[in-house]
Amino acid sequence: MTMDEKKGFRLYDTLTRRKKPFEPIETGKVRMYVCGPTVYSDPHIGNFRTFTAGDILRRWLDYRGYDVFHVMNITDIDDKTIRDSGEEGVSLEEFTERYTKSFLRGLDLMNIKRATTYPKATDYAPRMVEFVKELLDKGVAYVASDGVYFNIDKFPEYGKLSGVDTSKVEKTDRMTEDEYDKETVNDFALWKTSTPEELERGIYYESPWGKGRPGWHIECSVMTRSLCGDTLDIHAGGEDLIFPHHENEIAQSESLTGKEFVRNWVHVRFLMINGRKMSKSLGNYVTFDEVLSKYSADAFRYFFLSVHYRRPLDYTDAAMGIAQNSAARLENTLDLIDDTLRKEDRYYDFKETEKALLEAVKEHRGQFEAAMDDDLDTHSALDALHALSGAINEYLAGDVNKGVLLRAAKAYRELLSVLGLFEKRGAGVDDLTEDLIETIAQVRERLRTEKNFQLSDKIREDLERVGVVLSDTAEGTSWKIARR
Ligand SMILES: [Zn+2]
């Protein structure tokens, strides 16, 4: 067994249609490319299912000790960006810059780890010209009046990823569009001759075939090769990219290099909205900001994690309500831990209950790891976290040895962080903030004993406004930092 195999991570591969032991080309290093957004509109919540799944994969590789080189491209030139910027009457650059920012803002709000780099397609145009030239030299592409096309008959393995059978579809014409379905399998565009509108707007690059611009599929083949080399360990994206986008990437890249293009293909299922596919025409289009105005980002993340990334997931208010409550239960344990750690130290024993807590930590960490190693089974990983949360809550109900609690809390936070949950709340507040809140709470306590409820209530409300929630219990007043 190799070092990587010993790590035990198994990942489903779309091409071979099975879970494979994950083994990168270079021991300990992973080159991973996730197809990023086409920046022609604000990202919708379906996009975030894919981005969150990519983030979980990245975080699991980090946890398993890999050095991950993570690339996500920005498609800032294609049919849609050119069309919509033209309709709006703004330059392609200004238009795509706006939606690139909107995309990055969404990543930050969802606490998605930044990739190592976000290459823009337009920055790689000269290399795309070179790539197309090489395909022509190899005889797998040809020049037509409106551009350069890839001849799919020259790549006998065409269809191996999507299962499309080229012998059963009638090849009638060349495909000029970037996007099409399996019924219209045809030679696809590598390079598109500029239209009069594109020439007028200055959207073109010089090439041996005249002024033009790259097709969508060649963009990823060129950026993956430039940044990650001939073979990627992981190439991921939404399931809608399997055909034609990824099928065409394979044809281009493998024809050029003669090497395997991707070791593991990872595809994330669509997000449904109330049982239907999301589309503007059905009127069920849910924006990202709409979700975050009703639910926390952690609840939204929890919702994605509650179902395996290759299984169907349906966005409904009921499902979001359940996710919100379940996330709150996990977070409540963090509140209880913070609260207990602020209390006086008066118990230092190591008895059966302490032993039981540390054993529970070990057991549930083991369950969590086994679940994640099994093709990122986040549903079962959450079960393990709920079990650990329950064990910690139970321990907190009795005498607490802070040393033991800190060990359990560290493990709990670490596993939550693998799923990207509650990271923004950090590990509590700093000492100065804590002392300030304590001081204010004591002043308020004094006012209450003097029956000055008007002022004590005002202090409670003012604190709540800045995110500090006080609760009065039989044992006194406790507080927590409430986040959105
Ligand atoms: Zn791509």
User: Is the peptide bond preceding residue 244 cis, with omega within 30 degrees of 0?
Assistant: yes
Residue with tokens 């609760």: 471
Taking the centre of ligand 1 as the mean of its atom positions, its distance from the CA of residue 36, in whole angstroms, is 7
Q: From residue 107, how far is each of 8, 36, 270, 301, 334 by CA, in Å?
A: 29, 12, 18, 11, 24
Centre of ligand 1 to C-alpha 21, Å, is 24
CA 284–ligand 1 middle distance (angstroms):
26
Mean pLDDT by 10 residues, the chain (484 residues): 70 97 96 96 91 98 97 96 96 97 95 97 97 98 95 94 84 79 86 96 96 96 97 97 96 98 97 88 84 95 98 96 98 94 90 98 98 98 98 97 97 97 75 87 92 94 89 82 66
Compute the distance from residue 116 Cα to the ligand 1 centre, in Å.
17
Q: How far is the CA of 218 from the centre of ligand 1 (A)?
A: 9
Ligand 1 geometric centre to CA of 252 (Å) = 12
Residue 288 CA to ligand 1 centre (angstroms): 22
**What is the per-residue pLDDT for 484?**
46
Which tokens sit at 185?
A: 């399998």
CA-based end-to-end distance of the chain: 47
Place of tokens 């790891």: 369
248 Cα: distance to centroid of ligand 1 (angstroms): 10
How far, in Å, from the CA of 291 to the mean position of ligand 1?
27
* Helical spans, DSSP H, in 229-272: 247-257
Distance CA 338, CA 478 (A): 10
Return the closest-CA partner of residue 402 out of 348, 461, 456, 451.
Answer: 348
Q: Which amino acid is at 2?
A: T
Distance in Å, CA 35 to ligand 1 centroid: 4
Q: What mean pLDDT, rounded, does the chain reach? A: 93
Distance from residue 201's CA to the centre of ligand 1 (Å) = 25
388: tokens are 């650990």
- Residue 296 pLDDT: 94
140-189 pLDDT, tens digit each: 999 999 999 999 999 999 999 999 988 777 676 788 888 887 777 889 99
Ligand 1 centre from 348 Cα, in Å?
A: 56
Q: Is the dihedral of CA 53, 55, 61, 66 positive or negative?
A: positive
Preceding amide of 196 cis, omega within 30:
no
Q: What is the DSSP string of 374-432?
A: BT--HHHHHHHHHHHHHHHHHHHTS---HHHHHHHHHHHHHHHHHTT-SGGGTTS--HH
- pLDDT at 428 (0 to 100): 60
pLDDT of residue 21: 96
Bridge pairing between strands 262-268 and 232-238: parallel
414/93 Cα distance (integer angstroms): 41
The predicted pLDDT at position 91 comes to 97
Ligand 1 mean position, distance from CA 10 (Å): 24
Report field, pTM of the whole predicted structure over 0.85? yes
pLDDT for 223: 98
**CA of 271 relative to ligand 1 center, distance in Å:** 19
**From ligand 1's centre to the CA of 246, what distance in Å?**
7
CA dihedral 7, 12, 15, 20 (to 10 degrees): 30
Sign, CA torsion 162/167/170/174: positive
Q: Could you tell me where the DSSP H helices lie in 258-345?
A: 288-294, 297-305, 317-342
Place of tokens 């207990």: 340
Instruction: Give the H/E segment covering residue 132.
Output: helix 125-137
Contact 223, 35 (CB under 8 A): no
DSSP string covering 106-128, please?
HHHHTTPPPPSB--BGGGGHHHH
